[in-house]
Amino acid sequence: MSYASAVFSLHSFPLISDEYQWKGPFYFIQGADPQFGLIKSWAVGNTESGDDEWGEEIKLTEQAVQAINKLNPKPKFFVLCGDLIHGMPGKWRKDQEQDLKNVLQNTDQDIPLVFVSGNHDIGNTPTRETIDNYCKSWGDDYFSFWVGGVFFLVLNSQLYFDSSKCPELKQAQDTWLNGQLAAAKKHKCKHVIVFQHIPLFLREPDEDHDYFNLEKSVRQEIMEKFHKAGVKAVFSGHYHRNAGGCYRGLEMVVSSAIGCQLGEDKHGLRVVLVTDEKIVHRYYSLDELSSQGLEKDMMDMLAKQN
């Protein structure tokens, strides 16, 4: 599967062999959890059915799109790491999805969009039906793509959280992932980067399991698989706060939300700069990114090898 096969591919990547080759530093934008409807439902204390308003999320996502469109040079792509909307499924789901698509249609045509499934997109205990419905709206729930010699993997992390109603789909993703990691090693890509909604862990690889991370035995198996395959970083959302840590050279990056904040962070986006040797990232509030763009040190790294 590839991003270009997505049903809702507003702006897709050209599938050309040239993307297998390293061409120098580039950057992309990561966002997470626009989650249309959560701000109202969180405020009224009813996260099950209080998501009947999402005007604030529309404004925040519009601000995010406007900030991205102003960036120069343009990012290679804009990835949204899950929980696109809040209703799962609910009375307002279709309206929330349509309003989000209407906002994202204004993204610069030269900036491809990448979508990652979250628990509110396919359900806390997903089924084949909920995943199929997501795919009809947003495209494949797991896939890979190449940009400038870097190999990117998009995973359906909910299958690792609870696949009790669709174990065969988890097995299918596992088989596919093993093949993709083997192919990445064969092609000798510059870096391997993973996108998923639920973090492997928030701060420590051996921390206790809760709603915001994966169960410890599942987590350990995935971390070790990624380590052996040379994965450099995993980018996620779900926590609605910034967090992160490392496991044997694998960086876990947890980004706060475009939408509802559950901590002290501001609504924002993460700028991720990929160089020959490393991956550098920085979280910007929407106001900061809108007003100042990329900071000088990041611009200098971009220009260094181009």
Considering the chain, what percentage of its residues have pLDDT values greater than 70? 93
Q: Angle formed by the axes of helices 55-70 and 93-104, to 10°?
A: 20
Least confident of 1-15, 25-39, 115-129, 185-199: 1-15
pLDDT digits (tens, 9 = 90+) for 10-41: 444 554 557 888 989 999 999 999 999 999 99
> What CA–CA distance (Å, rounded) separates 155 from 152?
10
What domains, with CATH codes, occur in the chain?
26-303 (3.60.21.10)
Q: CB burial class (10 A; 0-12, 13-18, 19+) of residue 206? A: exposed
Q: What is the pTM of this model?
A: 0.94
